[in-house]
Amino acid sequence: MALKPKYTEANRLDFELDDYFVNQVKKFEPLVAVRIAKEIDTVTDLKNTNGRIENLSSYVNDNNGKAVFFMIDYFVEENGPIVLIDIYPISSDEYLDQINLNKHIIKYNEMQHT
């Protein structure tokens, strides 16, 4: 379920942000939070989760170039928006586990090597 970046506005998905998600994003450094928002905005393909909460992960770099790994919990109902319900930092090992499960946002530079 690796998620590929979008390239056109025609592929734009609708997101709904749960209040808890918004409060959790505020716990990240402001620049990191903006970069996370941009990363989430690259998502193009999330399937209906049939009411189940699923997750995906990614990372962004802070001002010092240090990777900040994070996990997002979400659900998607048929013909509905993607509802983002939680976001939290994870370790690099947890991120690698998510890659192995194919539950991460594929970055453009990763696509160049596949």
Each residue's pLDDT tens digit, 40-50: 988 877 889 98
* pLDDT of 110 over the 70 cut: no
**Nearest of 81, 80, 58, 79 to residue 69 by alpha carbon:** 58
What would the mean pLDDT of 24-51 be, rounded to a whole number? 92
With a pLDDT cut of 90, the percent of the chain lying above it is: 64
**Which of the residue ranges 1-5, 55-59, 94-98 would you say has the lowest mean pLDDT?**
1-5
Residues in CB range of 105: below 8 A, 6 or more apart = 2, 3, 5, 39, 40, 42, 43, 56, 57, 58
Name the 3-class secondary structure at 108.
helix
Higher-scoring residue by pLDDT: 91, 42:
91
Query: Torsions phi, psi of 6, nearest 5?
Result: -90, 160
